[in-house]
A and B are shown apart, each in its own frame.
Chain A
Amino acid sequence: MKPAAFDYHAPGTVEEAVALLAELGDDAKVLAGGQSLIPMLALRLTAFDHLVDVCRIPELQGVQQRDGGVRIGAAVRHAQVGTSPEVAAAAPLLTLATPLVGHFQIRNRGTLGGAIAHADPAAEYPAAALALDATMDIASPTGRRTLTAQEFFTDLWTTAMEPDEMLVGVTFPAWGGRSGFAVEEFARRHGDYAIAGAEVAVELDETDRVRRCAIGLVALGPTPERPREAEAELVGRPVSEIDPAEVGRLAMAGLTAVTSDGNGSADYRRRVGAAMVARAWTRAVADASTEGAA
């Protein structure tokens, strides 16, 4: 089908863009890469009188090292995220997650900021942002503010941003030392949204105990989820004594709003989720171990 008619705006600066959003109110929507928004418009699941294309704003471009981490402009496309040496150095989890986002033709258009602002719990980047404690740089007509990923994702496809705010960039702090990363997903077909998935980061100390770990869960609730109680239980333990299946069980224990749909019941999703966490844990630990004892 064809999208309903709309007026198109292509502001050249962030200030122009948020001024437009403030002026147009609920009738306007930010258009980034469009790989989620345009299908929804084409299927007439939604319609807006105004689309504000932010991809021509220079401030939203580029990947920069920042404070040991990496700052990614909101309009940077998935393909660029996936091949960026700065991203691979500071946030390898993001590099590993990228090939699982749609197909390569989608990754050539879709943007990191669009994926995160869309806040789909079944998407890879929101879970990575939550697991890695990313911070979101947000602009409004009255100024700028920064939110943590935990504050940012509030509900299904819903963020803490106001209608006249827009995402400008996302900063991912680096993990140092003996860190390892892995992403595991189960989908019926490559490129489909996952039925459940896990993105795991783990850092080991010099005695092979877990110094810290982070688990991002995909498609296991209304938002990307992070089982912080499970993470806390694992910290300080010798990694060789941790059964990956136990990590999977722990990670599922605190989930209260796993969805049931045509792709699987909530119970099935939990089982798949536990298996994905176990697999990702195993691979992340192996990855950390190859960093060598300090």
Chain B
Amino acid sequence: MSDVQVELTVNGQARTATVQPRLTLADFLREECRLTGTHLGCEHGVCGACTVLVDGEAVRSCLVFAVQAAGSEVTTVEGLGGPDGELSPVQAALRDCHGLQCGFCTPGFVVSITAFLRDNPRPTDQETREALSGTLCRCTGYQGILRAVQQAAGAETAR
């Protein structure tokens, strides 16, 4: 089995690595780029913890091989906050609304909610629930996360 060279951009930085084709984008980010903010839960596309942006669109990085993302611009949760660690509006809202407990699923929620609110800045409650349904949280019962989306939507609109 032949290795492949993968060149892509992660959080604005060019990255190149020679990897097995079976390496998922999630493992590429964690192991080759040492960006461990992207979490792997189920590794088969159910839990949503590994969600990242590929060319701006939220996708499950466990369901993309790194080689498929060659040439793409990838944004992980590390790329969403400020350079000095300042929380993004979505991250701040999750903290304010107790939208996390153990935090394992949180990177997936942060990335998914960021893309969702960019495309739909004033979502209805039903739209928000549908958007959140692709990511699993076993701690919060989702109500805090739902409030965080509403707060972040308000904050974005107030800007």
- Using a CB–CB distance below 8 Å, which chain A residues touch chain B? 1-8, 10, 31, 34-35, 38-39, 41-43, 49, 51, 53, 55, 79, 99, 102-106, 108-109, 189-191
Contact = CB atoms under 8 A, between A and B. Distances in A.
A247 to B, nearest CB: 28
Interface stretch (B91-99, B128-136, B138-146): B128-136
B118 interface: no
Interface residues of B, number: 31
Nearest to A5: B1
A72 to B, nearest CB: 18
Interface stretch (B10-18, B52-60, B74-82, B148-156): B52-60
Contacts of B129: 190
B43 A42 contact: yes
Interface in B13-33: 20-22, 24, 27
A144 B33 CA distance: 43
B150 to A, nearest CB: 18
B48 A103 contact: yes
B22 A2 contact: yes
A79 B57 contact: yes
Nearest to B45: A39
Given A8-B67, A103-B48, A2 B43 contact: yes
Given A6-B21, A34-B68, A106 B60 contact: yes
B45 A104 contact: no
A23 to B, nearest CB: 16
B117 interface: no
B133 A103 contact: yes
Contacts of A53: 67-68
Given A41-B22, A42-B43, A53-B68, 4 more contacts: A49-B1, A105-B58, A105-B134, A190-B130
B1 A191 contact: no
A108 B44 contact: no
Contact of B22 (A5, A39, A99, A190): A5
B2 interface: yes
B21 A108 contact: no
A51 B45 contact: no
A114 to B, nearest CB: 12
Contact of A106 (B2, B67, B130, B134): B134
Given A4-B22, A105-B51, A105-B134, A38 B58 contact: no
Contacts of B60: 105-106, 109
A6 B1 contact: yes
A34 B134 contact: no
B35 interface: no
A34 B65 contact: yes
Contacts of A104: 58, 112, 116, 130-131, 134
B48 A105 contact: yes
28 contacts: A3-B22, A5-B22, A6-B1, A7-B1, A7-B2, A8-B21, A8-B65, A8-B67, A35-B63, A38-B24, A38-B63, A38-B65, A39-B44, A39-B63, A43-B44, A79-B57, A103-B48, A104-B112, A104-B131, A105-B48, A105-B51, A105-B58, A105-B59, A108-B58, A109-B59, A109-B63, A190-B129, A190-B130
A1 B40 CA distance: 10
Interface in B86-140: 112, 116, 129-131, 133-134
Contacts of A5: 1, 20-22
